[in-house]
């Protein structure tokens, strides 16, 4: 699978990773070779151009992390760009609809439609424990109906009984009714293929679609036909509208042109790929795994990821030291806000902590949303370097300028400054408190959480991870966490630890006076 392309690319990157330093010209030369390799692999021209342009732009501006070479960095950038081009995330078949969920299979003759229909049926039955009915709508080639019936028997999947003389639309309606009556979860309709895309074929498929309202319309396309497969997908999508693609004969595809261009050209995800004639030769299409296969440099990608993670840890340790000394300036505050954004905002952080689900709605109701975080970052960014380091220098005039620059009010600036002061104070105070974050959390949890889950049950490793990812933890886990720890996060507990346990603490979030947050519930 993709061997030819893989060989070419690994040749190019082997050369690159062996060099100590890289000039812009070196990267340019490598990109020219990558471009040639992709074109030879039959990747669409536009896709190749946009790919190499993006890689070049990212490579030239990239910061090379410690302990990797610039060449390794480029490999990682190419990998990430490949993943993006392939669609970023796996998109499995969607069955979230009222049963029986209709799936319509479309494609050219010989693309592997019938084989794929039975492969999907078998997988839904065996892996997802679904009751599946298959029906062939191929009225022109009776052998096609027989073929599906035999495949069904081989795999223990039911097929709709064959009734001679019915039209495709009649068979489709009969299949939906039979599936309803028979209590099936899924009904897969295998339409007739044609040698080329023609109007008759499209009209029939459009009518079947209108009558059966399929939840998924999957185009089956032969990877070996390269750009023709991509053009077929585009034609079907334009006329019928497809929800995804199944690429077949990927097992014999050394070049990978169809796989690589499909998503970028059609905008539709490849959901599955056929990797052999056998009825279980079907795989999910995982963009990152495919990129690994194509590049064949998984070890380098992992190395760069690890090095980058270490950089984050170093940064966190530095931050911890600063906090201990009570040196917590507005840049640090903005840094923490950005870390929060990286983790998916407040909701993301809550999602990482077991048992915190219930609190999400409380927080949302309090107006603590991600727009607020963005606004706070904007305020800090509108200040000068000196102001960020020493907020006390901000006078009324400058505050007005900062407010104008960040699209906020002077009162928002004041609230942010107050938050920063409270946080810095608390960090200093907590630096003296024994036990750091653990002690702090212990205090919070001790108060009883009014129906909330017992937070002392939270896995310390999880807390550790959350804190570290938020840029709040030093190496060595919770023990090494900076004073202030989680409490030091914006939206933490300035002004001392609240009574009433964690529930009480979070309930008080709106009372923090964060810009734009409104009043929130009154203190009891
Ligand atoms: N190697 C390989 N062969 C496949 C794959 N998928 C299908 N085939 C083979 O391709 C041939 C054609 O497959 P069919 O399923 O009959 O094709 P179809 O699109 O239904 O054809 P029509 O019914 O004529 O429209 C069969 O011999 C299959 O075994 C695959 O992923 N890999």
Give me the CATH number covering residue 195.
3.40.50.300
Whether residues 113 and 60 fall in one domain: no
Q: Taking Cα atoms as reference points, which of 251, 264, 136 lies closest to residue 192?
A: 136
| Residue 248 CA, closest ligand 1 atom number | 31
Please give the pLDDT value at position 224.
94
Give me the CATH number covering residue 64.
1.20.120.140
Q: Which carries the bigger pLDDT value, residue 382 or residue 359?
A: 382
Q: Is 110 flagged in the annotation as binding?
A: yes
Whether residues 39 and 111 fall in one domain: no
> Is the shortest distance between the CB of 123 and ligand 1 below 6 Å?
no
Q: Is 113 flagged in the annotation as binding?
A: yes
147 found inside a domain: yes
Q: Is 251 flagged in the annotation as binding?
A: yes
Read off the pLDDT of residues 165-188 as tens digits, 9 standing for 90 and up.
899 999 999 999 999 999 999 999
142 found inside a domain: yes
Whether residues 124 and 42 fall in one domain: no
pLDDT class for 310, splitting at 50, 70, 90? low
Instruction: Report the distance separating Cα 257 and Cα 5, nearest Å.
Output: 9
The mean pLDDT value for 313-338 works out to: 76
Please give the pLDDT value at position 15.
83
Please give the mean pLDDT across all residues of the chain.
77
Please give the pLDDT value at position 69.
75
Read off the pLDDT of residues 17-57 as tens digits, 9 standing for 90 and up.
777 777 778 888 888 999 999 999 999 999 999 999 998 88
Of 238-247, 292-301, 317-326, 359-368, the range with the lowest mean pLDDT is 359-368
> Is the shortest distance between the CB of 113 and ligand 1 below 6 Å?
yes
95 found inside a domain: no
Q: For the residues of 163-221, what is the DSSP string, one character each?
A: -TT--HHHHHHHHHHHHHHTT-SEEEEEPPP-SS--HHHHHHHHHHHHHH--SEEEEEE
Whether residues 445 and 389 fall in one domain: yes
The mean pLDDT value for 516-522 works out to: 33
Q: Is the pLDDT of residue 234 over 90?
A: yes
**Residue 182, both tokens:** 């028979």
- Enumerate residues 6+ apart whose C-beta is below 8 A from 522: none
Maximum Cα interatomic distance, the chain, rounded to a whole number of Å: 88
**The pairing of beta strand 270-274 with beta strand 158-159:** unpaired
Give me the CATH number covering residue 399.
1.10.260.30
Say how many domains are in the chain. Answer: 3
Q: Is the pLDDT of residue 386 over 80?
A: yes
| Best residue among 110, 195, 259 to mutate for probing ligand 1, ranked by most atoms within 8 Å of CB | 110
**Residue 496, both tokens:** 């001392």
49 found inside a domain: yes
Give the residue whose CA is nearest to atom 17 of ligand 1.
112
Q: Which carries the bigger pLDDT value, residue 465 or residue 63?
A: 63
Whether residues 119 and 51 fall in one domain: no
| Best residue among 104, 109, 277, 285 to mutate for probing ligand 1, ranked by most atoms within 8 Å of CB | 277
Question: Which of these three, 31, 54, 86, is where a domain ends?
Answer: 86
CA of 114 to the centre of ligand 1 (A): 7
The mean pLDDT value for 71-84 works out to: 87
**Portion of the chain with pLDDT greater than 70, in percent:** 71
Please give the pLDDT value at position 333.
82
Question: Which of these three, 261, 288, 315, is where a domain ends?
Answer: 288
Per the CB < 8 A criterion, the answer to whether 131 and 184 are in contact is yes
The mean pLDDT value for 144-153 works out to: 94
Give the residue whose CA is nearest to atom 3 of ligand 1.
277
pLDDT class for 486, splitting at 50, 70, 90? very low
Range of the domain at 390: 327-512
Instruction: Report the distance separating Cα 375 and Cα 490, nearest Å.
Output: 13
Whether residues 381 and 458 fall in one domain: yes
Q: What is the 3-state secondary structure (H, E, C) of 417-440?
A: HHHHHHHHHHHHHHHHCCCHHHHH
| Residue 193 CA, closest ligand 1 atom number | 25
Q: Which range scores top for mean pLDDT: 173-177, 418-422, 434-438?
A: 173-177
Whether residues 283 and 420 fall in one domain: no
Instruction: Report the distance separating Cα 340 and Cα 205, nearest Å.
Output: 48
Q: Taking Cα atoms as reference points, which of 465, 254, 437, 518 lies closest to residue 353?
A: 465
**Portion of the chain with pLDDT greater than 90, in percent:** 42
317 found inside a domain: no
> CA 307, 311, 316, 318 torsion: positive or negative?
positive
The mean pLDDT value for 504-522 works out to: 31
State the first-to-last Cα distance of the chain, in angstroms, to the nearest integer.
Answer: 65
Please give the pLDDT value at position 63.
67
CA of 6 to the centre of ligand 1 (A): 26
Please give the pLDDT value at position 373.
82
CA of 276 to the centre of ligand 1 (A): 9
Per the CB < 8 A criterion, the answer to whether 400 and 339 are in contact is no
The mean pLDDT value for 437-446 works out to: 35
Whether residues 66 and 184 fall in one domain: no
The mean pLDDT value for 3-19 works out to: 84
275 found inside a domain: yes
Q: Quote the pTM value.
A: 0.62
Q: Is 107 flagged in the annotation as binding?
A: yes
Of 9-23, 77-91, 384-398, 421-435, the range with the lowest mean pLDDT is 421-435
Please give the pLDDT value at position 133.
97
The distance of Cα 200 from the centroid of its chain, to the nearest Å, equals: 39
Please give the pLDDT value at position 344.
59
Q: Specify the 3-state DSSP secondary structure of 93.
A: coil
Instruction: Report the distance separating Cα 282 and Cα 278, nearest Å.
Output: 9
Per the CB < 8 A criterion, the answer to whether 472 and 489 are in contact is yes
pLDDT class for 505, splitting at 50, 70, 90? very low
Q: What is the DSSP letter of 521?
A: S
> Is the shortest distance between the CB of 115 and ligand 1 below 6 Å?
yes
Q: Is the pLDDT of residue 522 over 90?
A: no
Whether residues 37 and 150 fall in one domain: no
Per the CB < 8 A criterion, the answer to whether 398 and 387 are in contact is yes
386 found inside a domain: yes
Q: Is the pLDDT of residue 68 over 80?
A: no
> Is the shortest distance between the CB of 283 and ligand 1 below 6 Å?
no
Whether residues 381 and 414 fall in one domain: yes
> Is the shortest distance between the CB of 251 and ligand 1 below 6 Å?
yes
Please give the pLDDT value at position 500.
32
Per the CB < 8 A criterion, the answer to whether 313 and 475 are in contact is yes
Q: Is 446 flagged in the annotation as binding?
A: no
Q: For the residues of 17-60, what is the DSSP string, one character each?
A: HT-S---HHHHHHHHHHHHHHHHHTT--HHHHHHHHHHHHHHHH
- Enumerate residues 6+ apart whose C-beta is below 8 A from 330: 380, 383, 387, 388, 389, 391, 420
| Best residue among 115, 196, 248, 280 to mutate for probing ligand 1, ranked by most atoms within 8 Å of CB | 115
The mean pLDDT value for 262-266 works out to: 93
| Residue 190 CA, closest ligand 1 atom number | 20
Whether residues 245 and 386 fall in one domain: no
Please give the pLDDT value at position 349.
54
170 found inside a domain: yes
Whether residues 78 and 127 fall in one domain: no
Read off the pLDDT of residues 352-371 as tens digits, 9 standing for 90 and up.
444 445 555 555 555 556 77
- DSSP H or E run through 284: strand 282-284
Q: Is 191 flagged in the annotation as binding?
A: yes
């Amino acid at each position: 699978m993709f061997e030819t392309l893989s060989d070419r690319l690994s040749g190019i990157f082997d050369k690159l990773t062996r060099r100590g330093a890289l000039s812009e010209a070196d990267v340019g030369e490598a990109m020219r070779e990558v471009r040639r390799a992709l074109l030879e692999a039959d990747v669409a021209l536009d896709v190749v151009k946009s790919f190499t342009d993006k890689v070049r732009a990212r490579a030239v501006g990239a910061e090379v992390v410690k302990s990797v070479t610039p060449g390794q960095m480029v490999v990682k950038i190419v990998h990430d760009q490949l993943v993006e081009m392939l669609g970023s995330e796996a998109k499995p078949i969607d069955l979230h609809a009222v049963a029986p969920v209709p799936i319509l299979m479309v494609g050219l003759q010989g693309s592997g439609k019938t084989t794929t229909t039975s492969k999907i049926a078998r997988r839904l039955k065996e892996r997802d424990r679904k009751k599946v009915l298959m029906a062939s709508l191929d009225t022109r080639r009776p052998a096609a109906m027989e073929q599906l019936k035999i495949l069904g028997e081989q795999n223990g999947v039911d097929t709709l009984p064959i009734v001679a003389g019915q039209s495709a639309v009649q068979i489709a309606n009969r299949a939906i009714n039979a599936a309803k009556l028979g209590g099936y979860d899924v009904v897969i309709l295998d339409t007739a293929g044609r040698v080329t895309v023609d109007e008759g074929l499209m009209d029939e498929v459009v009518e079947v679609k209108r009558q059966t309202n399929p939840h998924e319309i999957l185009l089956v396309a032969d990877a070996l036909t390269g750009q023709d497969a991509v053009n077929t997908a585009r034609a079907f999508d334009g006329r019928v509208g497809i929800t995804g693609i199944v690429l077949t004969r990927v097992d014999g595809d050394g070049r990978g042109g169809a796989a690589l261009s499909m998503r970028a050209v059609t905008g539709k995800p490849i959901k599955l790929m056929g990797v052999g004639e056998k009825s279980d030769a079907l795989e999910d299409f995982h963009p990152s795994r495919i990129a690994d296969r194509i590049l064949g440099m998984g070890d380098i990608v992992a190395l760069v990821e690890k090095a980058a993670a270490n950089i984050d840890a170093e940064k966190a340790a530095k931050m911890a030291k600063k906090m201990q000394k009570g040196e917590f300036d507005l840049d640090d505050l903005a840094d923490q806000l950005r870390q929060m954004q990286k983790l998916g905002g407040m909701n993301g952080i809550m999602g990482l902590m077991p048992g915190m689900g219930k609190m999400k709605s409380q927080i949302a109701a309090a107006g603590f949303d991600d727009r607020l975080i963005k606004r706070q970052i904007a305020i800090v960014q509108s200040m000068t370097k000196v102001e960020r380091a020493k907020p006390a220098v901000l006078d009324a005039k400058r505050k007005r300028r900062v407010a104008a620059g960040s699209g906020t009010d002077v009162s928002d600036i004041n609230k942010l400054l107050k938050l920063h002061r409270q946080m810095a104070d608390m960090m200093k105070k907590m630096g003296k408190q024994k036990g750091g974050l653990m002690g702090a959390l212990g205090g919070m949890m001790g108060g009883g959480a009014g129906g909330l889950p017992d937070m002392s049950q939270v896995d310390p490793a999880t807390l550790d991870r959350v804190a570290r990812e938020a840029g709040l933890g030093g190496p060595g886990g919770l023990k090494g966490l900076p004073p202030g720890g989680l409490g030091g996060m914006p939206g933490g507990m300035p002004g001392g630890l609240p009574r009433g346990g964690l529930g009480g603490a979070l309930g008080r979030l709106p009372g923090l006076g964060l810009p734009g947050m409104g009043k929130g519930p009154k203190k009891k």
